[in-house]
């Protein structure tokens, strides 16, 4: 404050120097800290809000652990692509629907289609034999495949009227000493028992559908705690839902929190400026808010990702394709999300700026920036917290919605993200169900839908509980 | 008189919003890759994404700055209203784009997109024509869902405010939470599964609806909006039912069926809307219920309610007349705010239940695993959804002004 020289020159008249009260021995209580303490006091009495908070903390811890885990996209988590190779046998010459079989490494697989596919560990040479087909002669009837480096396609030609071939003892000729790789999740010919540890058989017509191995009484996880997710209907590869969910915690939480926090910051800033300054600034920002609120959210996200990923398939700013898409997803959602916060904050600021303490700050000469940053923004925050905690649970669901609609968000289809897994699982359940039961085997892969759906539900409902508790704790009008 | 001034002022406010939204879509349209850029990225001839370069695709864009054999080979452009050509003045292109957007010239549907391949009838059609074919069904569904929302949310919200922290309140709160936390595609699929498991896919209703004399029940018939052709006696397929593309007097399926004297079909169309409308309503009820409850709680603590109680007005009248009427303002506002969320749910529901609405055609147009995206349909439906949201917000504001004199007088 500027001092008037005339009053400064006249000391000891009037009462310019009142004795300053001695500073209290303890620190002066910080009013904002007191507010947080009060909030915690009310939140602590709300059981549901506490449960929600606990679940969120637990999920964050899981996410921190999951960063260390391998990313299970594109097939098998343990039997890596470098370890296994696809060996494909195609036949020609048989009439459609005739059953034929291939035996390799002691494992027989039969089909009535044109192809038999095996997945074998790289390295050794495997012997194979072709099973008998009445009235046909196979060429070659047996042979060797060298599994190394690249997928192999072997052609088998059946000639009608030939001698019975492929000696009946063919299945009993293990040949090499190689065995199937002993990994916790393994691939195997469709519909055959697999001799190997931790390998699971899938039903004949629904390859890659394995029920969860988790057991509750003696608590063991097993190899596939949450079952499998079939990658494609015709190849026997599948996806470990548990690994996907674990790693998905990471991506889901990162993306949701990033969107909400960035969006809230932008909205908070613009809303505060708009509400405080009013006039033309307010009009401009509020028209911008109206414009962005009118754009359909999901469509905008779709357009942004589609346009940028088509234009720059290699990624932007030297980032990888995946990182670019995550960045795009976050920024696209953020662009359509900030208007909600801006509107909420503006409404709150309009109330707060008329309060006595803001007037007092202005009277004591505080600048506009200081009033906004130190007085108005901190006191307009609480509806933002409530809205943030509500919104954060909706984002994995929205991503799942996009994936379910068939839009390609991720570079790989089975990206480990909760919404994505839930969407694929759900469409797969409906697909499996509609295909129906064939040959007496009837499997509805409920786990593909239930576990990821449960994760989405738990996350969203716990943030809802927390938001409800926060609302009760922070808004004194509702506490009466 | 005041009301009219308010309405006119509100209409004028629409102009900057519509201009702004279309400018954003204009920027996005022009952010689409140019031919030169695609060649730089994918190489020439492009092998990774051959559909980008299908030379058989007709093209609206005449760009003289390119050699003749390279002109118009990017199908992303041919079905868009007016992308900015190379060397063109952006302001001219923008004004052309605005003109075409406002006059509903939104481009055509691509021949080789998933949408075009799945529904061959719409190939090469104007986007606005196609959207107009599919709009009535979605509108019917929306009205149905809106009625369900209002019928459930307002009474339940009032109840849970009156009986605060009682079982009714807790139950409605749990319902509201679950509506928010359950993905609609999961809920829809669960309902389909549940009903099929409960009734069996060959249940007599689905096998032979009352007007249906023969024909195998199919999945589409169970959840779809229209019965299969075989269901009509002797293959007597009404001309206005044409593979989901309705050419009919009004376009609204229930009304059309009634006009054609097929009252059972009319009822059946409504019956098949129940599940999808419930799923759509479930999510929106959650939000609305919560706001109605909170606004009721606030209003019931106000002085005039206390005065009414002190005068000896019966509690039911206090709740209905004094508090209920005043909390209605909030209901209208929230409906307006959640409207974008509400119609954003249609693509997924129509996809899950295989309903022939705009959402379904939009869901088809964004599938790109087998075929390219249909940018014409995507941008077209963005414009349509935006118009709908903007107009709905306008209607909501006017309704709000009707309900609350302070708005139009202040």
In this predicted model, what pLDDT tens digit does every residue of A347-383 receive, in sequence order?
888 888 888 888 888 888 888 888 888 888 877 777 8
Which residue did the predictor score with more confidence, B244 or A219? A219
Q: Is B294 on the interface with A (CB under 8 A)?
A: yes
Residue A30 to chain B, least CA–CA distance (Å): 30
Q: What is the pLDDT of residue A459?
A: 92
Nearest to A400 by CA among A454, A359, A468, A479: A454
Three-state secondary structure call for residue B80: coil
- Is the whole model's pTM more than 0.80, yes or no? no
In B249-334, at which residue ranges do the beta strands (DSSP E only) sit?
none
| Chain B residues near residue A453 by CB distance under 8 angstroms | 182-183, 186
DSSP code string of B246-269: E-SSSS-HHHHHHHTT-HHHHHHH
Q: What is the pLDDT of residue B73?
A: 41
Q: Label the pairing between strands A228-230 and A238-240.
A: antiparallel
- What would the mean pLDDT of A375-400 be, rounded to a whole number? 84
Residue A392 to chain B, least CA–CA distance (Å): 11
Q: What is the pLDDT of residue B364?
A: 82
B241-250 LR contacts (CB < 8 Å, sep 24+)? B242/B121, B243/B119, B243/B121, B244/B119, B244/B356, B245/B119, B245/B121, B245/B122, B245/B133, B245/B356, B246/B133, B246/B136, B246/B137, B246/B356, B250/B136
Residue B63 to chain A, least CA–CA distance (Å): 19
Q: Roughly how many angstroms between the first and final C-alpha of chain A, as a whole number?
A: 43
Q: Is B382 on the interface with A (CB under 8 A)?
A: yes
To 10 degrees, what angle do helices B90-102 and B2-31 make? 120
Compute CA A67 distance to the chain's CA centroid, rounded to the nearest angstrom: 13
Cβ-contact A271, A264 below 8 angstroms: no
Asked if B28 and A295 come within 8 Å (Cβ–Cβ), the reply is no
- For every one of its 410 residues, what pLDDT tens digit does chain B have, with 9 covering 90 and above? 577 888 888 888 888 888 888 888 888 777 665 555 555 555 544 443 434 444 333 333 333 344 444 443 444 444 454 444 444 667 777 787 788 788 887 777 777 677 777 776 777 777 888 887 778 778 888 888 889 988 888 888 888 888 877 888 888 888 888 888 888 888 888 887 777 666 654 443 333 343 344 433 333 333 333 444 434 433 334 444 444 444 456 667 777 767 766 676 677 777 777 888 888 888 888 878 878 888 888 888 788 888 888 888 888 888 877 777 777 777 777 777 777 777 777 888 887 777 777 888 888 888 766 666 777 788 888 888 888 888 888 888 888 778 777 666 55
Q: What is the pLDDT of residue A443?
A: 63
CA gap B128, B338 in Å, rounded: 26
Q: Could you tell me the two tokens for B357? A: 């609405």
Q: Could you tell me the two tokens for A474? A: 């922070």
CA gap B94, A79 in Å, rounded: 54
Taking a contact as any Cβ pair under 8 Å apart, which residues of chain B between 240 and 259 contact chain A?
none
Residue B303 to chain A, least CA–CA distance (Å): 14
In A325-473, at which residue ranges do the beta strands (DSSP E only) sit?
none
For the sheet containing A107-111, what is the strand order? Answer: A107-111, A100-104, A125-130, A142-146
| Chain A residues near residue B375 by CB distance under 8 angstroms | 306
Residue A432 to chain B, least CA–CA distance (Å): 11
Taking every pair of C-alpha atoms in chain A, what is the biggest distance, in angstroms? 130
Q: Label the pairing between strands A84-92 and A152-160.
A: parallel
Q: What is the pLDDT of residue B179?
A: 83
**Which residues does residue A137 pair with via DSSP β-bridges, in sequence order?**
A159
| Chain A residues near residue B177 by CB distance under 8 angstroms | 461, 464-465
Q: What is the pLDDT of residue A54?
A: 92
Residue of chain B whose Cα is closest to the Cα of A467: B177
CA gap A87, A121 in Å, rounded: 10
> Which helix (H) or strand (E) segment is B22 a member of?
helix B2-31
CA gap A221, A26 in Å, rounded: 55
Cβ-contact A453, B183 below 8 angstroms: yes
Max mean pLDDT range (A80-94, A197-211, A435-449, B18-32): B18-32
Max mean pLDDT range (A90-99, A210-219, A322-331, A422-431): A322-331
| Chain B residues near residue A423 by CB distance under 8 angstroms | 185
| Chain B residues near residue A455 by CB distance under 8 angstroms | none
CA gap A194, B118 in Å, rounded: 40
Closest partner residue to A405 (CB to CB) among B177, B363, B381 is: B363
Asked if A296 and B343 come within 8 Å (Cβ–Cβ), the reply is yes
Nearest to A116 by CA among A125, A124, A128, B61: A128
Q: What is the pLDDT of residue B91?
A: 78
CA gap A369, A361 in Å, rounded: 12
Residue A41, judged by CB atoms within 10 A of its CB (0-12, 13-18, 19+), counts as exposed
The residue assigned the tokens 């990162």 is A254
Q: Could you tell me the two tokens for A257? A: 């929190």
CA gap B349, B260 in Å, rounded: 28
Q: What is the pLDDT of residue B224?
A: 37
| Chain B residues near residue A294 by CB distance under 8 angstroms | 17, 21, 340, 386, 389-390, 393
Q: Could you tell me the two tokens for A439? A: 């040959």
Least confident of A52-56, A120-124, A358-362, B238-242: B238-242
CA distances from A220 to A209, A241, A450, B141, B333 (A): 20, 16, 19, 48, 52
Residue of chain B whose Cα is closest to the Cα of A297: B344
Give residue A13's pLDDT band: very low, low, confident or very high (50, 70, 90).
very low
Residue A133 to chain B, least CA–CA distance (Å): 37
> pLDDT exceeding 70 applies to what percent of chain A?
66
Per DSSP, B50 falls in state G
Residue A203 makes CB contacts below 8 A (sequence gap 6+) with A191, A209, A441, A443
CA gap A197, B322 in Å, rounded: 72
Cβ-contact A443, A203 below 8 angstroms: yes
Asked if A422 and B373 come within 8 Å (Cβ–Cβ), the reply is no
CA gap A477, A372 in Å, rounded: 24
Q: Is the pLDDT of residue A327 over 80?
A: yes
Peptide bond before residue B385 is cis, with ω within 30 degrees of 0: no
Residue B232 to chain A, least CA–CA distance (Å): 24
The residue assigned the tokens 């959402």 is B359
Residue B155 makes CB contacts below 8 A (sequence gap 6+) with none
Residue of B33, B176, B183, B291 for testing the chain A interface, max A β-carbons within 10 Å: B183
CA gap A326, A314 in Å, rounded: 14
Average pLDDT taken over every residue of chain A: 72
Residue of chain B whose Cα is closest to the Cα of A410: B369
Which residue did the predictor score with more confidence, B298 or A400? A400
Cβ-contact A143, A154 below 8 angstroms: yes
Cβ-contact A417, A395 below 8 angstroms: no
Q: Could you tell me the two tokens for B227? A: 């019965």
Peptide bond before residue B45 is cis, with ω within 30 degrees of 0: yes
| Chain B residues near residue A405 by CB distance under 8 angstroms | 347-348, 351, 363, 366-367
Q: Is B193 on the interface with A (CB under 8 A)?
A: yes
Residue of chain A whose Cα is closest to the Cα of B381: A299
Q: According to DSSP H, which parts of B32-126 are helical?
A: 35-42, 75-78, 90-102, 114-118
Residue of chain A whose Cα is closest to the Cα of B30: A307
Residue of A287, A310, A414 for testing the chain B interface, max B β-carbons within 10 Å: A310
Q: Is the pLDDT of residue A385 over 60?
A: yes
Asked if B340 and A296 come within 8 Å (Cβ–Cβ), the reply is yes
Asked if A306 and B373 come within 8 Å (Cβ–Cβ), the reply is yes
Residue of chain A whose Cα is closest to the Cα of B29: A307
- CA angle A39-A40-A44, nearest 5°? 120
Residue B177 to chain A, least CA–CA distance (Å): 6
CA gap A453, A423 in Å, rounded: 9
A·B CB contacts under 8 A? 160
Three-state secondary structure call for residue A88: strand
Q: What is the pLDDT of residue B49?
A: 41
| Chain B residues near residue A397 by CB distance under 8 angstroms | 181, 183
Asked if B189 and A423 come within 8 Å (Cβ–Cβ), the reply is no
Residue B382 makes CB contacts below 8 A (sequence gap 6+) with A295, A296, A299, A300, A303, B25
Cβ-contact B386, A296 below 8 angstroms: yes
CA gap B75, B60 in Å, rounded: 10
Residue of B37, B181, B355, B377 for testing the chain A interface, max A β-carbons within 10 Å: B181
| Chain B residues near residue A306 by CB distance under 8 angstroms | 366, 368, 373, 375, 378
């Amino acid at each position: 404050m500027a001092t008037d020289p005339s009053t400064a020159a006249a000391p000891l008249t009037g009462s310019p120097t009142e004795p300053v009260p001695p500073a209290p021995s303890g620190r002066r209580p910080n009013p904002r800290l007191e507010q947080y303490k009060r909030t915690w006091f009310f939140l602590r009495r709300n059981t549901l809000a506490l449960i929600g908070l606990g679940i969120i903390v637990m999920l964050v811890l899981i996410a921190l652990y999951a960063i260390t885990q391998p990313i299970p996209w594109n097939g098998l988590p343990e039997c890596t692509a470098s370890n296994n190779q696809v060996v494909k046998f195609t036949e020609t010459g048989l009439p459609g629907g005739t059953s034929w079989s291939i035996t390799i490494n002691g494992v027989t697989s039969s089909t009535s289609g044109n192809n038999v596919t095996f997945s074998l560990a790289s390295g050794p040479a495997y012997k194979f034999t072709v099973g008998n087909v009445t009235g046909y002669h196979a060429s070659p009837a047996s042979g060797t495949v060298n599994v190394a480096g690249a997928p192999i396609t072997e052609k088998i030609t059946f000639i009608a009227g030939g001698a019975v071939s492929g000696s009946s003892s063919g299945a009993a000729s293990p040949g090499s000493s190689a065995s199937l790789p002993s990994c916790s999740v393994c691939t195997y010919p469709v519909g055959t028992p697999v001799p190997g540890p931790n390998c699971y058989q899938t039903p004949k017509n629904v390859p890659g559908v394995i029920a969860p191995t988790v057991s509750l009484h003696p608590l063991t996880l097993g190899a596939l705690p949450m079952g499998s997710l079939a990658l494609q209907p015709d190849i026997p590869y599948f996806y470990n839902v548990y690994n996907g969910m674990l790693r998905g915690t990471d991506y889901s939480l990162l993306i949701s929190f990033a969107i909400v926090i960035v969006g809230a910051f932008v909205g908070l800033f613009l809303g505060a400026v708009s509400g405080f300054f009013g006039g033309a600034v307010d009009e401009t920002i509020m028209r911008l808010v109206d414009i962005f609120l009118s754009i359909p959210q999901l469509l905008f996200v779709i357009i942004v990702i589609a346009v940028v990923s088509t234009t720059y398939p290699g990624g932007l700013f030297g980032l990888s394709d995946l990182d670019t898409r995550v960045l795009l997803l976050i920024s696209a959602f953020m662009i359509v999300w900030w208007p909600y916060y801006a509107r909420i904050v503006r409404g709150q600021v309009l109330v707060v700026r008329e309060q006595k303490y803001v007037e007092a700050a202005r009277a004591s000469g505080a600048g506009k920036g200081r009033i906004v940053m130190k007085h108005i923004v901190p006191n307009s925050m609480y509806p933002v917290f409530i809205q943030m905690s509500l919104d954060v649970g909706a984002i994995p669901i929205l991503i799942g919605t996009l994936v379910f609609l068939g839009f390609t968000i991720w570079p790989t289809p089975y990206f480990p993200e909760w919404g994505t897994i839930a969407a694929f699982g759900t469409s797969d359940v409906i697909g499996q169900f509609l295909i129906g039961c064939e040959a007496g085997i009837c499997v509805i892969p409920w786990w593909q839908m239930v576990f990821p759906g449960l994760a989405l539900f738990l996350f969203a409902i716990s943030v809802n509980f927390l938001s409800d508790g926060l609302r009760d704790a922070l808004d004194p009008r509702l506490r009466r | 008189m005041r009301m009219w001034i308010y309405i006119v002022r509100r209409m004028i406010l629409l102009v900057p919003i519509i201009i702004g939204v279309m400018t954003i879509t204009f920027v996005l349209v022009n952010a689409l890759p140019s031919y030169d850029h695609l060649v730089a990225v994918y190489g020439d001839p492009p092998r990774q994404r051959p559909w980008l370069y299908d030379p058989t695709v007709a093209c609206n864009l005449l760009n003289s700055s390119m050699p003749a054999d390279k002109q118009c080979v990017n199908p992303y452009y041919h079905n868009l209203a007016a992308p900015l050509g190379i060397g063109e003045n952006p302001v001219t292109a923008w004004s052309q784009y605005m003109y075409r957007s406002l006059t509903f010239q939104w481009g055509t549907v691509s021949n080789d997109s998933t949408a075009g391949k799945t529904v061959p009838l719409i190939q090469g059609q104007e986007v606005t024509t196609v959207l107009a074919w599919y709009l009535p069904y979605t509108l019917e569904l929306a009205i149905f869902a809106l009625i369900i929302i209002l019928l459930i949310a307002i009474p339940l919200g009032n109840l849970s405010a009156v009986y605060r922290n009682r079982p009714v309140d807790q139950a409605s709160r749990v319902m509201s939470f679950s509506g928010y936390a359950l993905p609609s595609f999961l809920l829809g699929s669960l309902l389909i599964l549940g009903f099929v498991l409960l009734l069996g896919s060959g249940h007599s209703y689905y096998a032979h609806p009352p007007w249906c004399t023969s024909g195998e029940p199919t999945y589409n018939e169970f959840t779809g909006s229209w019965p299969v052709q075989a269901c009509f006696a002797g293959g007597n397929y009404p001309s206005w039912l044409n593979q989901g593309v309705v050419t009919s007097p009004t376009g609204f399926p229930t009304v059309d069926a009634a006009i054609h004297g097929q009252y059972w079909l009319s009822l059946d169309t409504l019956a098949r809307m129940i599940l999808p409308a419930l799923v759509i309503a479930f999510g929106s009820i959650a939000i609305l219920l919560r706001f109605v409850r909170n606004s009721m709680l606030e209003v019931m603590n106000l002085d005039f309610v206390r005065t009414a109680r002190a005068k000896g007005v019966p509690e039911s009248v206090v709740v209905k007349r004094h508090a209920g009427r005043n909390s209605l303002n909030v209901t209208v506002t929230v409906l307006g705010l959640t409207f974008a969320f509400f119609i954003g749910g249609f693509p997924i529901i129509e996809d899950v239940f295989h309903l022939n609405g705009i959402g379904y055609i939009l869901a088809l147009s964004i599938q790109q695993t087998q075929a390219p995206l249909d940018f014409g349909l995507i941008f077209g439906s963005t414009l349509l959804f935006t118009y709908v949201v903007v107009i709905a917000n306008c209607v909501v504001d006017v309704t709000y002004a009707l309900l609350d004199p302070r708005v139009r007088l202040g």
